[in-house]
Amino acid sequence: MADKTQLEVLKSGVSAWNEWRAGNVLVRPDLTAAHLLGLDLMGANFAQADLRKADLRGTNLSDSVLIDAQLDGANFFRTILDRADLAGASLIGAQFLTCDQLMAARNWQSAFRDPSLACGAAIPRRS
């Protein structure tokens, strides 16, 4: 379950979220199963965040930092990932994620994903 305080900060807007992240660099955000559908989160810093099973339907994650984020089982129906940085992100079991969405992001090739989302690039192995 998502941390209610963190969720409130995020829903206050990207500026408030990124400012909170800058002041809490040692905290790993817990947004597990968060309902974020339809939000404009363009440019948000979700590096190392736990977004497993998050509802991201229709969410704009353009230019977001999702480096090493846990997105396993998240719902990506109509989610915008343009230029989002997916380096090292985990997308195992992601729902409604397409190759077109994935390939619009940066560093998607290094994201851990299901074989159906190979999208012409090798899937990295976990060490």
- Per-residue model confidence as pLDDT tens digits over 55-114: 999 999 999 999 999 999 999 999 999 999 999 999 999 999 999 999 999 999 999 999
The pLDDT of residue 120? 94
Q: Are 102 and 124 in contact (CB under 8 A)?
A: no
Domain boundaries, the chain: 1-113
Segment 16-26 mean pLDDT: 97
Supply the pLDDT for residue 125: 87
Which amino acid does the sequence have at 85? D
Q: What is the mean pLDDT of residues 33-57?
A: 98
- Which of the four pLDDT bands, split at 50, 70 and 90, describes residue 11? very high
1-113: CATH topology: Pectate Lyase C-like (2.160.20)
Cβ neighbours of residue 23 closer than 8 Å, sequence gap 6 or more: none
Task: Indicate the DSSP class of residue 102.
Answer: H
